[in-house]
């Protein structure tokens, strides 16, 4: 009987965690992070859900004739924004998944 109660308790905790994860992911989709490269010449903005929402290029700073440099700066800004987005997600979702150890679960990637 105690084993059944433990399973029921664990299932209730998993369902609660799933709801918390859903809410955290909704919040992440609304938050944004930005990163820049080339001294602010290129700026990339992403959501916490890792969706690129804008790339801004300052025409006064960037030489349109130097396409390679512009491409490198865009790539650097987007990569930095992705890293910031992932850090934000880890921070938000880490609080939700942190309770898995209490359940005796070992889920890879969490």
Give CA–CA dist 52/85, Å, rounded: 10
The residues, any chain, with a CB within 8 Å of residue 110's CB and separated by 6 or more, are 97, 100
The answer to whether position 71 is within a domain reads yes
CATH code assigned at 85: 3.30.1310.10
Question: Which residues span the domain enclosing 72?
Answer: 2-100
Give the number of domains in the chain: 1
SS3 category, 15: helix
Q: Is the pTM of this model over 0.85?
A: no
User: pLDDT of the chain along its 110 residues, tens only?
Assistant: 677 888 888 888 888 888 888 888 888 888 899 999 999 999 999 988 889 999 999 988 877 788 888 899 999 999 999 999 999 888 888 776 665 544 444 444 44
């Amino acid at each position: 009987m105690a084993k059944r109660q433990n399973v029921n308790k664990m299932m209730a905790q998993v369902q609660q965690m799933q709801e918390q994860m859903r809410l955290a992911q909704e919040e992440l989709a609304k938050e944004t992070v930005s990163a820049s490269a080339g001294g602010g010449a290129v700026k990339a903005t992403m959501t916490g859900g890792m969706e690129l929402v804008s790339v801004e290029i300052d025409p006064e700073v960037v030489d349109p004739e130097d396409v390679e440099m512009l491409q490198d700066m865009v790539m650097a800004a987007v990569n930095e924004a992705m890293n910031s987005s992932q850090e934000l997600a880890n921070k938000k979702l880490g609080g939700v998944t942190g309770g898995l150890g209490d359940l005796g679960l070992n889920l890879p990637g969490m």
